[in-house]
Structure 1
Amino acid sequence: MRTMLNTLFVTSEDAYLSLENDNVVIQNEEKILAKVPLRSIEQIISFSYKGASPALMGKCARSGVGMSFYSPRGRFYCSVLGENNRNVLLRREQFRKADSPEDGRDLAAAFVLGKIFNCRWVLERTKRDHALRVNVQRLTAQSALLKTELDRVEDYASVDEVRGVEGKAAKDYFYSFDDLILRDKDSFFFERRSRRPPMDKMNALLSFAYALLTGDCTAALQGVGLDPYVGFLHVDRPGRPSLALDVMEELRPVVADRFALTLVNTGAVKSGHFEERENGGVFLTDAGRKVVLAAWQKRKNEQITHPFLDEKIPWGLVPYVQSLLLARYIRGDTDAYPPFMWK
């Protein structure tokens, strides 16, 4: 089993990354902010406008260190891909399955099956743990709707039909999402999902967590040799990491949603960690991003027992394990892809 090392987060908008011997050098103008041994990290995530030197990107590609670039507001730009990740035979088989209506439907259904199962688990877990603080009747009703969709998802004949049930399940899940917010309801509330830009604090926090999870899934897929831009559930578009979004769907409720809710419900993230822009969009401040990123790294190191492998792994390795299981299925080593269904 792969060992998870640390992730280096660079949050300063003006930071520039370079290579000195085998160290990552982080500097602002002429001032050196930090030096980090490259051997001690497995991934670099930069939220800086200035980027990194070609020497550092090349070293990361050769060493298998993931490197992803985001805007300071959390929008994913790109990631570095080395030659050792270019498994052309595996990718050719991935493309064949993506072009096959039957294979495409089966994989899309697996991703949606995992998503709906986990959405329902989040609602049921909240009912169990906070019965006196939530609208149990509404959560029960929405959970029942998800159960109906869960029982039918594998019966649909096409990818478009699977996409339809995924959209309905997401609507049913988010209908009761506001009930999951237990603290500071004046500042943190949820009416509907809003993006580009997020229009309230809860959506801003969710969008930032989704961006981090997308980056982790993209890096994991590249690490096992798959093309993160050729998916099964999400329609292919230039610049869209469709397969990373596919894998993210099943992880979104239990990884990103629960993470965001925990930050709010424990008071770790506060109203002052957000700012509103002239266009009405709401974003995390620099201080807010640091709080979220520190909590994200801590969360990734927490141990779980993987429901399919029955092995203890950190949460941070879940995208890698799911990508590995997907690659095995695409190669023909297994009969089906097992979605991540948290219990």
Structure 2
Amino acid sequence: MSPVILKTLFVQRDGAVVRMYHDVVTVTLDGETLLRVPFHMVESIVGVGRISFTGPLLERCAAEGRSVVRMTRGGRFLYRIEGRLSGNVLLRTAQHEAVRSPERSLAIMRAIVAGKIHNQRQLVLKAARDLAHPADRAAVRDVADDLARELRKLPSASHPDEIRGIEGSSARRYFLALRHLLAPSVRDALSFDGRNRRPPRDPVNAVLSFLYSLITRDAESALLGVGLDPQIGFLHTLRPGRPSLALDLVEEMRPILADRVMLSLFNRRQLQSSDFQVIPGGAWELAETGRRTLFAEWDRRKQVEIEHPLLKQPVSYGRLLDVQARILARAIRSQAHGYTPFLYRG
């Protein structure tokens, strides 16, 4: 018998109510049933916009390890409901000790940034092969060379701010390269010239911000699943309310999950101008039709399997964060093992 593929249930119709009816998750709006999904097929539930969850649904999800998340229509995280935490206090104690140890903290920071830059470079090199215009190919290869130089600086970086500086410099160059990876007709219409946020001021950044929020949500669940504290990070400094370790974990995943999905959505013309709206203040956000398209592509990407370079076995993109969370927990538990980021092969 084939294993059941668990999926995230996204609900985004304003006013919708998500409830349990026997063993079925039911979504209703104004008394009309919009959707029915067997509970055993649901991995998590994400409500986008003005969504309500009934008490019995929340209790069942908490009891059986399904997370329930609320986000704004623009992708900003509001809250998460989880069941009892797994793991043990010894692992979290080791996490606090690792953060306070300059040597161990620097080693984990270097690994996180190295994984991110490597994956950024692999993405731009792979995409450069398909570019039609020589000027675009040349610009992207120049960025790839810059990223290689930044990677070579990491082993000698001896201060957290030095590592963060390498990460920041690489990110700025990388986002300029992303412009060249968009089809010419697409990028001319989108006015995309680099990363901006809070608020996103163009459609590309609106999509990236939304996807990064989805990855961070998954990273928090993965870390909680192995017993780590998502708030206590290494690369990202401690700040009240910020899931610093979750943000650390997603860094290496952004290029291969979010950025690849964004490029596919625009270059395949799956997203059009009608899929966005500009809200007061000049911020761009996805409209309901755009979010529906994004959720479908995001789910498709998560089902794709690749061989994990460390485990030497197939792993779906949707399970990568769980695997990397376990690898990070091992690195925190034992000083004999450093953190090994996921390295995309292109």
Please report the TM-score for the alignment, with normalisation by the length of structure 1. 0.94
Return 76-85 or 98-107, whichever deviates more. Answer: 76-85
In 2, are the aligned partners of 1:181 and 1:261 still within 8 Å (CA)?
Answer: yes
Distance of 1:333 and 1:3 partners within structure 2:
37
Distance apart, 1:336 and its partner CA:
1.0
Match of 1:16 in 2: 17
SS in 1 for 2:78: strand
State whether residues 87 and 226 of structure 2, in contact with CA within 8 Å, keep that contact through their aligned partners in structure 1: no
Matching residue's letter, 1:230: I
* Residue of structure 1 in register with 2:313 after alignment: 311
Superposed CA offset, 1:267-315 (max 9, x none): 1111211111121111111111001101111111111111221211211
Question: 5+ unaligned residues in a row in structure 1: which ranges?
Answer: none
The one-letter code matched in structure 2 to 1:99 is: R
- Contact residue 177 and residue 190 of structure 1 kept, 8 A: no
Q: Is the 8 A contact 1:91 1:225 kept in 2?
A: yes
Q: Within the alignment, does 1:64 sit opposite 2:78 as a pair?
A: no
Contact preservation (8 Å) 2:235, 2:248: yes
Q: Normalised by the size of structure 2, how large is the TM-score?
A: 0.93
Checking the alignment, whether the CA contact within 8 Å between 2:13 and 2:51 is kept in structure 1 is no
Aligned to 1:272: 274
The corresponding residue for 2:206 is 204
* Deviation per residue, 1:119-158 (Å, 9 max, x gap): 1111111222225465222212211111011011122112
- Relative to 1, partners in 2 of residues 1:287 and 1:334: Cα closer, same or farther, differing over 3 Å? farther
Structure 2 CA distance for aligned equivalents of residues 206 and 246 of structure 1: 17
What is the rounded CA distance, in whole Å, between the counterparts of 1:257 and 1:87 in structure 2?
Answer: 35
Aligned residues of 1:14 and 1:49 also touching (Cα < 8 A): yes
**Contact residue 91 and residue 329 of structure 2 kept, 8 A:** yes
Instruction: Judge conservation of contact 2:143–2:173 (CA < 8 Å) in 1.
Output: yes
Structure 2 residue matching 1:42: 3-state secondary structure: strand
Counterpart secondary structure, 1:135: helix
What is the aligned partner in structure 1 of residue 118 from structure 2? Answer: 117
Contact 1:181–1:188 under 8 Å retained in 2: no
- Deviation of the 1:114 alpha carbon: 0.4
Specify the alignment match of 1:191 in structure 2.
Answer: 193
Summarize the Cα distance change of 1:31–1:134 in structure 2 as closer, same or farther, 3 Å threshold. Answer: farther
Q: Which residue of structure 2 lines up, in the alignment, with residue 260 of structure 1?
A: 262
Residue 31 (structure 1) aligns with: 32
Question: 1:323 maps to which residue?
Answer: 325
Query: In structure 2, what is the Cα distance between the partners aligned to 1:241 and 1:335?
Result: 24
**Matches of residues 1-343 of structure 1 in structure 2 within 5 Å?**
4-85=5-86, 87-130=88-131, 132=133, 135-182=136-183, 183-332=185-334, 335-343=337-345
Where in structure 2 are there 5+ consecutive unaligned residues?
Answer: none
Give 1:316's aligned amino acid. G
Cα drift, residue 113 of structure 1:
0.4
Once the two structures are TM-superposed, the CA of residue 322 in structure 1 deviates from its matched residue by: 0.7
RMSD between aligned residues:
1.8
Three-state SS of the structure 2 residue aligned to 1:82 is coil
Do the aligned partners of 2:303 and 2:318 also contact (CA within 8 Å) in 1? yes
Q: Which moved more, 1:45-54 or 1:60-69?
A: 45-54
Asked if structure 2 preserves the Cα contact closer than 8 Å seen for 1:181 and 1:189, the reply is no
Which SS does the other structure have where 2:8 is aligned? strand
Q: List structure 1 runs of 4+ shifted beyond 4 angstroms.
A: none
1:316 Cα deviation after fit: 0.7
- Shift in Å at residue 7 of structure 1? 1.3
SS in 2 for 1:239: coil
How many aligned residue pairs are there? Answer: 342
The AA in structure 2 aligned to 1:20 is Y
